[in-house]
Amino acid sequence: MLGQEPSTVQNVLAPPAISGRRLVKNYGPHRALAGVDIDVRRGEAVAIVGPSGSGKSTLLHVLAGIVAADHGEVHLGGSRIDNLSEARRSLLRRSEFGFVFQQGMLVAELTAEENVALPMLLGGSDRGQALQAARHWLDRLGLAGRYGSFPGELSGGQAQRVAIARALAHQPSVVFADEPTGQLDSRTGAEIMNVLLEICAETQAAILVVTHDRELAARATRSVAIRDGQIESAVLTA
């Protein structure tokens, strides 16, 4: 795992945290990605915007190794990862990547702290240590006192905070967030986006966040617009 790195100069000199090269993905005759190049550095937040069906989720899934590209390469910290075995990629996903989805996708039968600890437990962490880390992240996300709550007992915003804690607790180098605020009202959405960006900046994770909300996208370091599976423009917003 890559450690914390306070120097942004080092971040610029280091290889990008995650890179996609000439990525192509076809679903039957439909071309979902048509040759996408993308680099995201540690400490950088990239908003992925574009119309429905333009390939945003597909790009995230291909970069994360959940979906295999038909052509192109994916590099993590300068090393090619798309050609690794499924077992190695699955291990990388657990240790190096964090995921936040539109709906928290929390396990209904587990408490908030157990949900956050789950990826660490699956990765072989000690139960006590995993739960301690889970509580630390729940505190960080303003959920102290909700350790024992089940997802059904939480508001949408609280559940999404648990999902963010779960995505960040193992200190991933890359965080993929696919419309993390899509189900929330605009005020809660803005709060959730703020906390997500703040923590990623603090831990120097690279984050790719898909959003339909231009205002939320403007909070990222830069925005990348996708149309018909191709990058249309990259706009520096901060």
Ligand X SMILES: Nc1ncnc2c1ncn2[C@@H]1O[C@H](COP(=O)(O)OP(=O)(O)OP(=O)(O)O)[C@@H](O)[C@H]1O
Residues that bind ligand X (CB under 6 A): 27, 30, 32, 50, 52-58
**What is the torsional sign of CA 91, 93, 95, 96?**
positive
Please, which residue, 3 or 28, has the CB nearer to ligand X? 28
Looking at beta carbons only, is 116 or 216 nearer to ligand X?
216
Total residue count of the chain as it appears in this document: 238
| Residue of the chain from 57, 158, 160, 203 that contacts Mg ion (CB under 5 A) | 57
Task: Give whichever of 149 and 211 is closer to ligand X, judged by the CB atom.
Answer: 211
Nearest to 210 by CA among 46, 20, 11, 10: 46
CA atoms within 13 A on the CB side of 233: 4
Q: Which is nearer to ligand X, 197 or 225 (CB)?
A: 225
Q: What is the CA radius of gyration of the chain?
A: 17
Binding-residue total with Mg ion (CB under 5 A): 1
In sequence order, which residues have a C-beta less than 8 Å from that of residue 79 and are 6 or more positions away? none
The listed partner (Mg ion, ligand X, none) that binds 189, CB under 5 to 8 Å by sort, is none
Which ranges in 48-185 belong to alpha helices (H)?
A: 56-63, 86-96, 112-122, 127-140, 156-168
Judged by beta carbon distances under 5 to 8 A according to partner kind, the member of ligand X, Mg ion, none in contact with residue 27 is ligand X
**Between 129 and 186, whose beta carbon lies closer to ligand X?**
186
Query: Please, which of residues 160-219 interact with Mg ion by CB under 5 A?
Result: none
Q: Are 90 and 138 in contact (CB under 8 A)?
A: no
Contact track, Mg ion, 9-48, x by CB under 5 A: ----------------------------------------
Residues forming the site for Mg ion (CB under 5 A): 57
